[in-house]
Amino acid sequence: MPIHDSNTPTMRAAVYRGRNTVQVEEVPVPAIGPGELLVRVESCGICHTDLKKVEYDLLPPPRIYGHETAGVVAAVGEGVTKFKPGDRVVAFHHIPCGNCFYCERKLYAQCAVYKKVGITAGFEPAGGGFAQYIRIMNWITERGVEIIPEGVPSDTACFVEPVNTCVKAVWMADPKPGDLAVVMGQGPIGLIFTMLLKHKGIRTLGTDTMAERRAMSVRFGAEQCLDPRTADIKAACAVLTEGRGADIVFIAASAPGIVEQAIRATRPGAKILLFAQTSDKERIELSGKDICMGERIIFGSYSADVDLQRVSADLVFSGAIPVGELVSHRVNLEEIALGFDMALHPTTESLKIVVRPQGHHQ
């Protein structure tokens, strides 16, 4: 840990400074209080929600982003008994209060406490995983930290949070044996959906514009994966369902016309889950008849579910879903701009990008 002066330890961090700018700087290592943890960050996945915040200047600077975080406990605050220095952990940056109107209805992502970020590397709390150390606040320490078992690499463990968001969406969609699910988009999130559906024994058809991702989709469990620009998705779903159409669609990409395409691919009474439609700029125009007379259900799922935290961790740690195979690139903090660029402009070679704040060889 570098020393800035005789009293203040410092660390390297990628600091968002506004105007689509992230700079690697020397900042103080966060001080922890009672009930808190200091964690040395080993791996942090780059997530599109953080990229959007940087690209569109959605929140005022300065902030240190990064929330798909795995690391090692460096210090524990007064009163902490569940964890000790040396424990390898993953941490969720949002945990709900558990007793408000929304929590009683299990709509945790709408809880006011859930919306408060409980992990920081300094400045306004924003996740902090793009730094060498993070401070985990007391309510997160209590309910939002999971121990990583021996033998599970940090690059794999950091998938626990994104896997949770996908497990929540699958749980909400509630696919039944014999259903045909369509996963639109086979980036890291779409491929996690494909893996989860395969794990549940649900027949799946994928769509993606990139041939390499289509091949991965089939490798991870899709019966077939088609190019939505050229293939007749509706006809393909009909062939697999005796003419009916898909039972469930997970929309894991954001593109003009994608929801309309999902409607066309489905049977009456089907469910269409919006997962990637997080911008208030997105507009969707649908036929009222397709929803009303077709008795289709369109709904959204956003963020993680504390009730599924252990389930998600077990899926990742056990290897039941091989998420570690999604990592295509590892970058250190000095290369984070390259990592962001690869995540924003995917190529045939890039998939999931992981930041290693301690350097490539930890």
The number of domains in the chain is: 2
CB count in 10 Å sphere of residue 222 = 28
**Domain membership flag for residue 130:** yes
- pTM here? 0.96
Same domain, 192 and 105: no
**Domain membership flag for residue 51:** yes
> Phi and psi at residue 88, in whole multiples of 5°?
-90, 130
Same domain, 284 and 333: no
Q: Could you check whether the bond before residue 62 is cis, i.e. omega within 30 degrees of 0?
A: yes
d(CA 314, CA 56): 35
**Domain membership flag for residue 313:** no
Same domain, 142 and 255: no
Tokens of 1: 């840990």
Residue 171's domain is classified under what CATH number? 3.40.50.720
Same domain, 177 and 290: yes
**Domain membership flag for residue 307:** no
Same domain, 283 and 344: no
Residue 326's domain is classified under what CATH number? 3.90.180.10
Same domain, 281 and 326: no
**Domain membership flag for residue 118:** yes
d(CA 269, CA 319): 34
Same domain, 234 and 331: no
Taking only the tens of pLDDT, the chain with its 362 residues reads: 444 455 789 999 999 999 999 999 999 999 999 999 999 999 999 999 999 999 989 999 999 999 999 999 999 999 999 999 999 999 999 999 999 999 999 999 999 999 999 999 999 999 999 999 999 999 999 999 999 999 999 999 999 999 999 999 999 999 999 999 999 999 999 999 999 999 999 999 999 999 999 999 999 999 999 999 999 999 999 999 999 999 999 999 999 999 999 999 999 999 999 999 998 888 999 999 999 999 999 999 999 999 999 999 999 999 999 999 999 999 999 999 999 999 999 999 999 999 999 997 55
Cβ atoms of 30 and 120 within 8 Å: the answer is yes
Tokens of 342: 């690869």
Q: Quote the domain boundaries for residue 123.
A: 10-158+322-355
